[in-house]
A and B are shown apart, each in its own frame.
Chain A
Amino acid sequence: MIKVSALNKRFEHVTALDNLSINVKKGSIYGLIGVNGSGKTTALKAITGVLRPDSGEITMDDLDVYENVRVKQRIGFIPDDLFFFGSYNMKECAGFYSRIFPNWSKEKYRTMAEQFGLSERRKLIRFSKGMQKQAAFILTMSSNPDWLILDEPIDGLDPLVRKLVWKHIVADVAERQMTVLVSSHNLREMEGICDSIGIVNSGKMLLERDLDELRSDIHKVQVAFGNAGDKLNNEKLEGFEILHIEEHGSIQQMIVRGAKEQVETIVRSRNPLIFDLIPLSLEEVFIYELGGGNNELGKLLF
């Protein structure tokens, strides 16, 4: 597992990470999401041992990461900003990786190179950005990492390749119990692949939850009552919490937190004329948790 505790990092006058804690279970896929500049990339660079945190602890299977070669040999990291040796093609890069990563699999490399259809002889810096990302993915996955850290891995990839990428990741998670920590803005895709998510804002962990738990916990409710006195508000309720409420005539639109069954029971007990209960998408949770529900953007979105 990947465990990050009370991580702090400042860049001169900017607090990039503020007491950040992350817990990624072994053999799971963890999505780290947040707005631009929230500290995701800094967190991932600290986790992979690139940046030295000001304070806090980062361990992988209880082993310190920073300056620990044995742990780093088991980490696969694809940063958002890729880099390859200027004169190298993919085959030469594979040669280098095979010498520094003990779990390197030649067969896997060959298979993946074939599947992705990339030329091994062409210089990597001549590749398009998407192709470079694929090459980085092939090289990283061929090293059979125990912990895979990905920063915006599918940006710039076409849907077919994206599917292939996720397929390989899911397969390694299932077969080798690989642990994956991935940051992305593509929340729909994250929703479909992640076991748990963490929402980071201003360097702080805002919310960290299993995705299933999250889905069953927050709902969007649309309701209308014949009698205006039956309208819902926080004062009258027990067992669930209204996080956000808007009224359009007799129709109330709400974001509520609570168990689905309990919400249904309470609302139906008041005999509503209209009642819809829809689970929130990850995108909606993300926007709402980041304060979107209470600002202009949120009003537009909800």
Chain B
Amino acid sequence: MNLASSYFKFSPALFRENLKRFWTIPAFGMLCYFFAGLYPLIVAEASSERYYVLQMTARFLNPGFIIFSVLFPIITSVALNRYLFAPGSVSVMHSLPFTRGSMFFTNMLSGLVMMWAPIVVTYLISLAFMPNAYLAATDPNIGFYSAIIAGAETRISVGQITGALGTSLLLTAMYFLLFNLAATVTGNTPMHIIGGAFLSAVAVGLTGLVGTLSETMLFGFAIDSDMFINLLLRLTPIVYYPARGADAAVSMVIQTIITCVGLYALGSLMYAKRSLERAGDSLVYKFVEVIFVSIVTLSGMILMSAIISAIDQSNFPFNWGLIAGGVLSYAAVKMMAQKSVRIFNKGSAIHFGVTIIAVLLFLFSFRFDFYGYEKRLPNENDIESVYFDPMTTLRNYYSEAEIEFKSPDNIKAIMNIHRVIAEYGPNARVNGEDVIDYSANSISVEYKLNSGTVSRSWVTYADASHYVGDLLTILNSREFKEQNSVIEWAKPGINSISVSSGSYRDLNLNPVEFSEFLLALDADMRDEVFTADSVTLFPGTGIGVNLSRTRPTGYVYSLGRPYYQSYRSEYIKPTYTRTINWLNAKGYYENLRYQANRITVELFDVNSAEALESYEITDFDTLQNILDYGIFGDEIPTTGDSATDLTPYCVVTFYGLDERGETVQLARRSLSPEGAEALLRLKIALAGS
């Protein structure tokens, strides 16, 4: 029997009978879609409201539609496959003159028609509202709603409606096929639904599980929420469409179609091989039971271990919760799979032992990095570009996180940094030097290769001096300077520029001053020559600049897309002579500086909050140094409970003269550990002593 005749044989009689038997599904579907989409559209009084509702529908972001795209496939699949779950019905249906292939195929087609009919009708009716929507778009009052839909185009096109229709149909089909596959491997309706939910969630769940384990146990494993979402968006249409709506990439549409074909083929195969005598059992295939039990046991172990580690701070995942979770979840899922509480036998004990050993091996393989993940570097010849974000290391020198390096020198330097960090691991220190314990650095790298991407993200205590030469290569490169340029960044348009310091906050520049200021700042930044000291010594400086830019027209943020950075902060360093001169010329600079004549520094034990030492600085050179670099943290309230709640590591108090010539306290600041470290490195402590 060839493929076409075995898997795609259609029975018109069964198709007709299915539609006749389950006519309530499309009827109920029509009602649901009507109340979720069409009814609000009809009753919306304000034209802009109607436009908004139609926009949601046209972009497949109508929450009702998304829910129904999941709900109706479940209902339809359960209704059409219910006969498989009772010995009587399965005997009668399979004694009738249909092949298994034709039953599966015909049931699938009937289900699709029943689910798709109300969707198609709904979208066709939506088209009727298009002229109104277009008129509404010209209404000046529409601004608010445009904002809600995050800069969406103000005209709805037939293409949008068609795209949303296609998305609805595709997502509905995929869920339906997924639940049909679940029906072929399960033996009763509750397990059918559980199985479908399990298959829907297994990709997301396992990705999350492996991601969590990797992040916990692998040094450099990079997964934050954005990356996790991005991974899932690439991995599963189930996450993709509710996040992106109808704006699906062609590749995802193709992936979804391939997924549907795969689900159908697998479902059809499992249906053909199904042992019909297993009707009523929980699971029809033994190997499915093994997979199901193993995955649930693994999840139970990790979950219980996470709960235990949250309660008593024990080591995740290697604590007693691992075994407790294993026993409980294995027993529960085994009872469910076998529909019996009598699971404690020799066979189960062996299976449990094997499962637990497999899970432990799996966990240990992470813990001891059997895959060589931590030390692995991509092949230099395969690298097209690298995104390098030193985050806390260079927080104040490197504002633009999305800098892409392509020059061979910079790529080599980044790979060297990668190599050094991987070599030293998270806790390595240079020469055992007693540096302050808070100097953790966060660094992330993303290589774009010919064949995909490689990402790493480290939190390391390894001293930056191990790789400072490479950092300087990067920071002093033309490639970095050009991409880090504030002029380039400001091209979409500047909304505001404010300059502030510890003594003077939020000096808002006049828009006519923007370009002059930016030119001066940009030139200073381009001319800046980074040195080993300037890179490693100063985590902060005194005068800050906050810039805000406009969002480009048409940009819509959605889950998993790069977030558009509307804000940027820079620091005006003592070497930024053009900027300082400009501020001076405008008469702003003096206001931004402390007019202190005395500074006291108090150091505290970070754990006990006991004062360790304090010293006073009065000599002019050191004072000038501090005032220029201004390593200022948060202001400490001088009254109220919160004043005593703070246990800063270092407190700096500034004194100056008031208008009557009397000494007064100008400000009191807590310093971050990095700030305190910088003070130490400036040898201020020596000056104080």
| B90 on the A face (CB < 8 A) | yes
How far is B19's CA from A96's CA once the two chains are assembled, in angstroms? 12
B426 CB → nearest A CB, Å: 52
Is B277 within 8 A of A79, CB to CB? no
Is B13 within 8 A of A96, CB to CB? yes
Q: Pick from B13, B16, B90, B102: contact of A50, CB below 8 A.
A: B90
B487 CB → nearest A CB, Å: 73
Residues of B within 8 A of A99 (CB): 13, 16-17
Is B91 within 8 A of A87, CB to CB? no
Which single residue of chain A is at the shortest CB-CB distance from B13? A99
Is A83 within 8 A of B88, CB to CB? yes
Interface residues of B in 272-306 (CB under 8 A from A): 275-277
Q: Pick from B13, B16, B87: contact of A81, CB below 8 A.
A: B87
| B681 on the A face (CB < 8 A) | no
| B536 on the A face (CB < 8 A) | no
Residues of B within 8 A of A11 (CB): 277
Is B92 within 8 A of A73, CB to CB? no
How far is B86's CA from A88's CA once the two chains are assembled, in angstroms? 18
| B589 on the A face (CB < 8 A) | no
Binds A, one of B93-101, B188-196, B465-473: B93-101
Interface residues of A in 87-123 (CB under 8 A from B): 87-88, 92, 96, 99-101
Residues of A within 8 A of B351 (CB): none
Residues of B within 8 A of A72 (CB): 95-98
| A45 on the B face (CB < 8 A) | yes
| B228 on the A face (CB < 8 A) | no
Residues of A within 8 A of B96 (CB): 72, 100
B378-421 Cβ-contact flags toward A at 8 Å (1 or 0): 00000000000000000000000000000000000000000000
| B89 on the A face (CB < 8 A) | yes
Q: Pick from B20, B91, B99: contact of A79, CB below 8 A.
A: B91
Residues of A within 8 A of B16 (CB): 99
Majority SS of interface residues in chain B?
helix
Number of A interface residues at 8 Å Cβ cutoff, please give it: 28
B285 CB → nearest A CB, Å: 12
How far is B9's CA from A70's CA once the two chains are assembled, in angstroms? 14
B27 CB → nearest A CB, Å: 14
Q: A96-B17, A101-B97 are in contact. List 18 more A-B contacts (CB 8 A).
A: A11-B277, A42-B277, A45-B277, A50-B95, A50-B276, A51-B275, A67-B99, A72-B95, A75-B95, A75-B97, A77-B95, A81-B91, A83-B91, A83-B93, A87-B21, A99-B13, A100-B96, A100-B97
Q: Across chains A and B, which 7 residue pairs bring their CB atoms closest together, nearest first?
A: A81-B88, A72-B97, A99-B13, A83-B89, A83-B92, A77-B95, A73-B97
Is A51 within 8 A of B277, CB to CB? yes
B116 CB → nearest A CB, Å: 23
B20 CB → nearest A CB, Å: 8
| A49 on the B face (CB < 8 A) | yes
The 13 listed contacts between A and B (C-beta, < 8 Å) are A11-B277, A51-B275, A67-B100, A69-B99, A77-B91, A79-B88, A81-B88, A85-B21, A87-B21, A99-B17, A100-B11, A100-B96, A101-B97
Residues of A within 8 A of B86 (CB): 81, 83
Is A51 within 8 A of B88, CB to CB? no
How far is B94's CA from A77's CA once the two chains are assembled, in angstroms? 10
Residues of A within 8 A of B277 (CB): 11, 42, 45, 51
How far is B98's CA from A70's CA once the two chains are assembled, in angstroms? 9
| B582 on the A face (CB < 8 A) | no
Residues of B within 8 A of A96 (CB): 13, 17
| A201 on the B face (CB < 8 A) | no
Majority SS of interface residues in chain A?
loop
How far is B86's CA from A28's CA once the two chains are assembled, in angstroms? 32
Which single residue of chain B is at the shortest CB-CB distance from A76? B95
How far is B23's CA from A88's CA once the two chains are assembled, in angstroms? 13
Residues of B within 8 A of A73 (CB): 97
| A228 on the B face (CB < 8 A) | no
| A48 on the B face (CB < 8 A) | yes
Which single residue of chain A is at the shortest CB-CB distance from B6? A67
The verdict on A51 contacting B276 (CB below 8 Å), with A99-B13, A100-B97 known, is yes
Residues of B within 8 A of A300 (CB): none
How far is B100's CA from A72's CA once the two chains are assembled, in angstroms? 12
Which single residue of chain B is at the shortest CB-CB distance from A84? B92
| A82 on the B face (CB < 8 A) | yes
A271-289 Cβ-contact flags toward B at 8 Å (1 or 0): 0000000000000000000
B64-103 Cβ-contact flags toward A at 8 Å (1 or 0): 0000000000000000000100111111111111111010
Which single residue of chain A is at the shortest CB-CB distance from B23? A87
Residues of A within 8 A of B90 (CB): 50
Is B95 within 8 A of A48, CB to CB? yes
Which single residue of chain A is at the shortest CB-CB distance from B88? A81
Residues of A within 8 A of B100 (CB): 67
A12 CB → nearest B CB, Å: 9
Is B92 within 8 A of A79, CB to CB? yes
The verdict on A45 contacting B17 (CB below 8 Å), with A50-B276, A51-B277, A67-B99 known, is no
How far is B277's CA from A51's CA once the two chains are assembled, in angstroms? 7
B482-510 Cβ-contact flags toward A at 8 Å (1 or 0): 00000000000000000000000000000
B558 CB → nearest A CB, Å: 44
Is A79 within 8 A of B13, CB to CB? no
Q: Pick from A49, A70, A88: contact of B95, CB below 8 A.
A: A49
Residues of B within 8 A of A100 (CB): 11, 13-14, 96-98
A80 CB → nearest B CB, Å: 8
Residues of A within 8 A of B93 (CB): 83
A88 CB → nearest B CB, Å: 8
The verdict on A45 contacting B91 (CB below 8 Å), with A69-B98, A96-B13, A100-B97 known, is yes
Is A82 within 8 A of B97, CB to CB? no
Is B95 within 8 A of A82, CB to CB? no
Interface residues of A in 3-51 (CB under 8 A from B): 11, 42, 45, 48-51
How far is B267's CA from A76's CA once the two chains are assembled, in angstroms? 29
A124 CB → nearest B CB, Å: 12
B356-380 Cβ-contact flags toward A at 8 Å (1 or 0): 0000000000000000000000000
Is A50 within 8 A of B97, CB to CB? no
How far is B98's CA from A99's CA once the two chains are assembled, in angstroms? 12
A74 CB → nearest B CB, Å: 9
Interface residues of B in 649-676 (CB under 8 A from A): none
Residues of B within 8 A of A75 (CB): 95, 97
How far is B94's CA from A73's CA once the two chains are assembled, in angstroms? 12
B60 CB → nearest A CB, Å: 34
Residues of A within 8 A of B99 (CB): 67, 69
Residues of B within 8 A of A81 (CB): 86-88, 91
Which single residue of chain A is at the shortest CB-CB distance from B20? A92
Which single residue of chain A is at the shortest CB-CB distance from B14? A100
Which single residue of chain B is at the shortest CB-CB distance from A74? B97
Residues of B within 8 A of A69 (CB): 97-99, 102
A41-69 Cβ-contact flags toward B at 8 Å (1 or 0): 01001001111100000000000000101
B97 CB → nearest A CB, Å: 4
Which single residue of chain A is at the shortest CB-CB distance from B11? A100
Residues of B within 8 A of A42 (CB): 277
How far is B11's CA from A45's CA once the two chains are assembled, in angstroms? 22
B490 CB → nearest A CB, Å: 69
How far is B21's CA from A281's CA once the two chains are assembled, in angstroms? 49
How far is B97's CA from A101's CA once the two chains are assembled, in angstroms? 8
Q: Select the residue from B11, B87, B102 with max chain A CB neighbours within 10 A.
A: B87
B16 CB → nearest A CB, Å: 7
How far is B93's CA from A48's CA once the two chains are assembled, in angstroms? 11
Which single residue of chain B is at the shortest CB-CB distance from A98? B13
How far is B92's CA from A48's CA once the two chains are assembled, in angstroms? 10
Which single residue of chain A is at the shortest CB-CB distance from B273? A52
Which single residue of chain B is at the shortest CB-CB distance from A50? B94
Q: Pick from A51, A67, A79, A83: contact of B83, CB below 8 A.
A: A83
Which single residue of chain B is at the shortest CB-CB distance from A67? B99
How far is B97's CA from A73's CA once the two chains are assembled, in angstroms? 5
Residues of B within 8 A of A87 (CB): 21
Q: Select the residue from A42, A82, A87, A100 with max chain B CB neighbours within 10 A.
A: A100
Interface residues of B in 98-123 (CB under 8 A from A): 98-100, 102
A73 CB → nearest B CB, Å: 4
